[in-house]
Amino acid sequence: MSGHDGFGSTGSSASSMPPLVRQPQPQQPGRPEGEQLAETLPFRAREAQPAVQPAPVAAPVEEPEVVLGPTGRPMPELPEPGPRTTHGHARVISMCNQKGGVGKTTTTINLGASLAELGRKVLLVDFDPQGSLSVGLGLNPHQMDLTIYNLLMQRDVVLDEVVVPSGVPGMDLLPSNIDLSAAEVQLVHEVAREQTLSRVLAPALEQYDVILIDCQPSLGLLTVNALTASDGVIVPLECEYFALRGVALLKTTIDKVRERLNPRLEVDGVLGTMYDGRTLHGREVMERLVEAWGDTVFHTVIRRTVKFSDSTVAGEPITAYASSSPGAAAYRQLAKEVLVRCPDA
């Protein structure tokens, strides 16, 4: 019989249709009957973890900018020296350089005045027959009855008879004139001629804190006397090539005096003077100076200024003539640096 639609197609019988009721699943072994397997397995709720905050990133610490001085080295912080309640046990320092015109006399006057401002009692010794130190403090060396020549050559002359006030509070002067040139010839035949200046300065050691000796521009017997009497040497050095060449010979002389006459002698420092940082030559000489002498070179540098010449004509240190000038500030800084290097001063 044809299908109900009349096209001869055969339909499915009822017995071949899938049952509408879900067939029971086979029981899992070991599970009690009637217990249904949960569609989703139970799980323990996870405790909320606190959010991990990233460690704060420290801001970069800015290092203070290092200020380089004219010597190419960082400028140190120089403490303000305390006042002296007592005086004595003087440190004797020679300003020495066999080349003339490098600033020995200018440094002796202005360093001495700066040390006096800091409460030190200072004696300046003019040990140059030209008498430039005496002239720079307003004295006429040709009108003086007694000078250091008389102190050296006459045993009846004592120190207090020759010392004169310099016009700066706390600073005295032992003057000189052309007569001193004869002493170098006369001392040749003396016994222990190299210790003559040391002998006559002995009474001053307990009266002053610092004694500065302005040497003549040579390495003769007078300069050897000054080095023999000294505890230290400051070498003023003009920032020029010719001045740089002569320092080696001076160092040889200092070494000989230390070995043969004065074991306590040492170089307190090399001071660059007449410095002009605007010129390449000046900067190159300063660089060579630091290479050769290292930390012996003072951080303080004395620059060129016309105020030094003006103060010399006026017969005053620059600290009094132009107290607020850069030159006065430089020598005040040098005085602090000297006291740091020489705590006994």
Residue 52 — very low, low, confident or very high, per pLDDT cuts 50/70/90? low
- 231: which 2 tokens? 């505890």
Name the nearest CA neighbour of 138 among 3, 316, 18, 273. Answer: 316
Question: Does the structure show a pLDDT above 70 at 112?
Answer: yes
Q: Rounded to the nearest 10 degrees, how much is the dihedral formed by the CA atoms of 257, 338, 308, 132?
A: -30
306-314 and 326-341 are packed helices; what angle lies between their axes, rounded to 10 degrees? 90
**What are the backbone dihedrals phi and psi of residue 18, each rounded to the nearest 5 degrees, phi first?**
-70, 145
What DSSP letter does each residue of 132-176 carry, written as one string? HHHHHTT--GGG-S--HHHHHH-TT--HHHH-EE-SSTTEEEE--
Which CA distances in Å does 276 have to 272, 285, 311? 10, 10, 20
pLDDT for 54 equals 67
Say if CB 267 and CB 296 are below 8 A apart. Answer: yes
Question: Model confidence at 157, in pLDDT bands (50, 70, 90)?
Answer: very high
SS3 content of the chain, % helix, strand, coil (to 5): 40, 15, 45
**Coil, helix or strand at residue 300:** strand
Q: Which helix (H) or strand (E) holds 199?
A: helix 196-201
Distance in angstroms (rounded) separating the CA atoms of residues 27 and 11: 37
**Residue 322 CB contacts under 8 Å (≥ 6 apart), including other chains:** 307, 310, 311, 328
Q: Are 143 and 134 in contact (CB under 8 A)?
A: no
Q: What percentage of residues in the chain have a pLDDT greater than 70?
A: 81
Whether 65 shows a pLDDT value over 80: the answer reads no
Query: Which comes out higher in pLDDT, residue 165 or 241?
Result: 165
Residue 245 scores a pLDDT above 70:
yes
Mean model confidence pLDDT for the chain: 85
Mean pLDDT along residues 16-30: 53
When comparing pLDDT for 323 and 21, which is higher? 323
* Residue whose C-alpha is closest to residue 265's, from 164, 336, 195: 195
Q: For 137-150, what is the mean pLDDT?
A: 91
Do 168 and 205 contact (CB within 8 A), yes or no?
Answer: no
Whether residue 31 is predicted with pLDDT greater than 80 in this model: the reply is: no
CATH 3.40.50.720, applies to 92-341: no
Residue 227: helix, strand or coil by DSSP? helix
> CA nearest 226: which of 96, 122, 108, 131?
96
Tens digit of each residue's pLDDT (9 = 90 or more) over 255-308: 999 999 999 999 999 999 999 989 999 899 999 999 989 999 999 999 999 999
Cα distances (Å, whole numbers) of residue 66 to 23, 63, 69, 299: 91, 9, 10, 14
Radius of gyration of the chain (CA): 46
| Residue 198 structure tokens | 């040391």
